[in-house]
Structures are given as structure tokens and as C-alpha cells.
Amino acid sequence: MEKVVHSRLLLACGLLGSIVVGARAADLPVKAPAPASPAPSCFASPISYFEASPVECPLTWNGINLYGAIDTGGGYQTHGVPFNAYYPNGVEELISKNSNGARYTLLPNGLGQSHIGIKGIEPIGGDWSFLFNLQTGFDPYSLQLANGPKSLVQNNTNPLDVQSANGDSSRAGQIFNTVAYGGFANPVWGTITAGRQDSLILDGLGRYDAMASAPAFSVIGASNTAGGSGDTEDARYATSVQYSKGIGGFRLAALYQFGGYSQGNGSNGAVEGQFGGDFGGFSFDVVASKVRDAVSLSNYAVSPLPAGVSIDNLKASLSNNTSGVIMLRYHYRTVTFYGGFEVIQFQNPSDTYPQGFTTLGGYTVLPGAVKTTDYDIAKILRVSWLGVRVAVRDDLDLAGAVYHYWQNNYNTGTCTNDGLSASSCAGTLDAASAMIDYRITKRFDAYAGVMWSRVSGGLASGYLNFQNIGPTVGLRFIF
């Protein structure tokens, strides 16, 4: 009996001791867990920086992001022209009027225009934010600002068979020759921006082209005819207002260009409207555009120049252009299909400028050098494309595309010699391309591919040759 009582006393004492010790332990300070090791900085070493993407490791200061791309390359043209440091693409990847001899050449900007810019978005109260974007394109070899009109002027006294690359462009050596806009955004009310902006068509084409409008592999990228509603100068508007809004799976946008040539535009006004949406793997966008007095510049290409014409003068053709485009994309697992169709109507312009005018880059178009009656019969240009891109691995894509441009016969006379007699005769441009894109890191692309292009009929009128094959290899760095 005593043993039992003794055991019970020991058990009671033990329980009491546990309660007291537990109570005291609860009063003791608790040691905080060891802090997690900070994530390594993406600027800790060159390797960590190059392995991080620009989104993961932006160059940011006080909400302002410095960004850009440097795209270098080289290749071969069966019928090409020499490199030009001012021509935005550096070379003419498509078959062109002046395409002549076979040559190895520098081929910059194969995947896209080399550029540098600053942008940012800053909350300003409530759900409103202020945003801005300033960007300029340049040649990565010479570091000259992209300037299409200057490339034309450089070849003013050169006949076709001795010209370097040249052509019209919305980029004319401006400080910010790509975009320069600011505006406000709100998740409920949408986004409104003003300044120098891409056309709605140009903005959409890159997303619906298997080649992402790469100049070395895409007709759409090599020439902004489609993006500019028929004229490359109108791929961007220097004085414009744009509004965009998402509603569920749909999106709406509208753009209005005001001002004219003296404000740095390639037209005397434009209006665009867009409707699109995303549903699962399917996306679409439809854009309509109307441009007044669109400018298409050309050079004289003769020596000596006509009397009264200086080396800095250019010629211009004006037109009122109306276009509509539908763009489609479907993504299934590792494969994405692309396609689109655009119709562009060219008519005589609203204004004739008998006294001439000053054009992009400050160059003068003299009286008598302004053509305003090219489209007594409306020109209709139809543009179509199909393409596919396959993600073979996370870092490796294969892509292929075909492009077809065809115009009606808007010649007031008779077309002869299979339509080669005049550029206003019916004609076609066909192109096909293939490309491989290997992402060495999240900042470096190595790419290689080839584009074949051919013209016929009125679209080949005045050409030295009718076909070009251009393989290209390159390396792009983004930051």
C-alpha cells in the first residue's frame, strides 16, 4: 500500500514539475528563425546578368527603364546592293529595282531594327498611372541613326546599277525615330497616349507573322508597305492620339493623326480603328485605316541632276490610301500558326502641292516633282501571308512563312511585254523564308535562315533583276 502511495506522489510531483517548467519555458524569449538568404543579384557577375532576361533584370533607375537591342549579322545576296549605313535595314533583303550583282555583305537588323530607348510607368493616384516610351533605331555597325530619306539622297546621282541600299522610311534621322509618346492608363477606363506612335496595323503585324516581321526573313518586316497602309512613311505617325481598352477577352483601339508634313508626318491626316480578341489558343485582330495625302519618296537616280535640282532634293508621289486587314494566330502545344490578309486602295490625293513641300528629314520636294495623278484608276494591292513557328525546345524555334502581294491593272493605257511595260500594270511579288532561332541565353539570340523573293508583271517594271535569294546569319543582344 505504501509503495502505491509513494508511486502516486512521485507521478504527481512529476506532473507538477512539468507544468511549472512548461510555464517558465513559455515565458522565455523565442529565438527567431534564421533569415532566408537573399536572392543573388542579377548584377553579381556577367554570367548572372546574361542569364537573366530584361524583365527579370531591367536597367532601372527611379522607375525609368533603359532598354534596347543590338542586332548584327552577315550573309549573301544572289542579286543585292552594297550596304548603306543610313538605310534602316542596312541592305535590301527583298528583290528591288536596283538589285544587281551577287555579293557577300553585312546584314544588320536581321531580326529587327537595332534600337535604344527609355520607358516607364508610374502610379499617380488612385488607379491611374503615367506612362511614356522614347525609342530610336540605329545601325549597329556605323551607329548612324536610321534615315531612309538620307539613303535616297545619297543615291540621287547614282544610276540603278551602281546604287547602294536605299529607300523611303518613316525613320528619317529623328532623335526618337521609332516612337516618342506619353499618356495615362487606368484598368477601368483604358489607356490614352499621344505623340509619335506606330500605326495600329504595324503594331499588330509583328504579332501575327511567323517571322515576327524580321527584315531578313519577312516581306512585312523588310518593307513597311503593309504596315503603313500602302506607304512606308505612314507606318508611324509623329503627331497622333491613340486610345485602347480591353473588355473581357476582347480589345478595342483607335488612332487619330493630326497635323501634316510640317509636323514630321508622312501624311496630312489619318484615322484607324481596331477590334480583336483572344480565346484559348486563338487570337485575331481586324484593323481599318484611312490616310490622306500619303507620301512616297524617291530619288532622281541620274547624273547630272536636272537643271534647278540640288543633291538634297527628292521626288514624291501622293495618294489617299484606304486599307483593311485581318490577322489570325492559333497556338497548339508547341506549334503556332499565323496568317493574314490585307487590301489597300490607292487613289489620287486630296491636295496637289504645286509649290512643293518640305518632307521628312528636312528635304525639299520641288514644284513639278510632286506626282498626284498616278491613280486616275484606283490601284488595289492585296497582301496575304501564312506561316508556322515550332518551339522545338524552350531555347530553340523553327519558323517558315510564305508571302504574296498582287496588284490590279490600273494603267490607263495598254500593258505589253507581260506587264513589264509599266509599273501600273498587274503584277505580283512572292516570297518564302525559313529560319532557326537559338536563344543562347535569355539575352542572346543566334539565328540563321534564308529568304527567296521574286517579282513579275507591273511590280517588276524597271527592275534590273527579278529574283533574289538571301541567306543570313546573325547574333542579337537585348537589354
DSSP symbols for 219-288: HHHH-TTTTTTT-GGGGEEEEEEEEEEEETTEEEEEEEE-S-GGGT-SSS-EEEEEEEEEETTEEEEEEE
Helix (H, G, I), strand (E, B) or coil at 49: helix
Of 161, 346, 325, 135, the residue nearest 236 (C-alpha): 135
Report pLDDT for 7: 42
Q: CA torsion angle for 234, 329, 390, 69 (degrees, to 10)?
A: 30
410 is written with which cell numbers?
490600273
Question: How much is the pLDDT for 44?
Answer: 87
Strand partners, 194: 182, 241
**What kind and span of H or E run contains 405?**
strand 396-407
For residue 157, give the amino acid letter.
Answer: T
Buried b vs exposed e over 354-378: b needs ≥16 C-beta within 10 Å?
Answer: eeebebbbebebbeebbbbebbeee
- Please work out, in degrees rounded to the nearest 5, the angle formed at the alpha carbon of residue 436 by the alpha carbons of 432 and 441: 150
- Number of other residues whose CB lies within 10 A of the CB of residue 313: 20
Which CATH class name applies to 63-478?
mainly beta
Secondary structure (3-state) at 10: helix
How far apart are alpha carbons 404 and 453 in whole angstroms?
10
Question: Would the CA dihedral through 371, 372, 373, 376 be positive or negative?
Answer: positive
CB 346 within 8 A of CB 375: yes
| pLDDT tens for each residue of the chain, 479 residues long | 344 333 443 333 343 333 333 333 333 333 445 555 555 688 888 889 989 999 999 999 988 999 999 999 999 999 999 999 999 999 999 999 999 999 999 999 999 999 999 999 999 998 999 999 999 999 999 999 999 999 999 999 999 999 999 999 999 999 999 999 999 999 999 999 999 999 999 999 999 999 999 999 999 999 999 999 999 999 999 999 999 999 999 999 999 999 999 999 999 999 999 999 999 999 999 999 999 999 999 999 999 999 999 999 999 999 999 999 999 999 999 999 999 999 999 999 999 999 999 999 999 999 999 999 999 999 999 999 999 999 999 999 999 999 999 999 999 999 999 889 999 999 999 999 999 999 999 999 999 999 999 999 999 999 999 999 999 999 999 99
Alpha carbon separation from 264 to 44, 268, 270, 362, 474 (Å, rounded) = 44, 10, 14, 9, 33
CB 228 within 8 A of CB 235: yes
Q: Which residue has the cell 508556322?
A: 388
Spatial CA neighbour of 443 closest among 164, 34, 53: 53
User: What CA–CA distance (Å, rounded) separates 394 from 129?
Assistant: 34
Question: Residue 240's closest CA among 179, 287, 293?
Answer: 179
CA 178/CA 394 separation, integer angstroms: 30
Adjacent-strand bridge partners of 446: 438, 475
Nearest alpha-carbon partner for 85 in 144, 131, 130, 137:
144
How far apart CA 71 and CA 315 sit, in angstroms, is 32
> 35 preceded by cis ω (within 30°)?
no
The three-class DSSP label of residue 137 is strand
Domain ranges of the chain: 63-478
**Lookup: cell for 90:** 542596312
DSSP assigned state of 167: -
Choose among 89, 87, 88, 97: nearest CA to 153: 87
SS3 174: coil
End-to-end CA distance of the chain: 87
Single pTM value for the model = 0.89
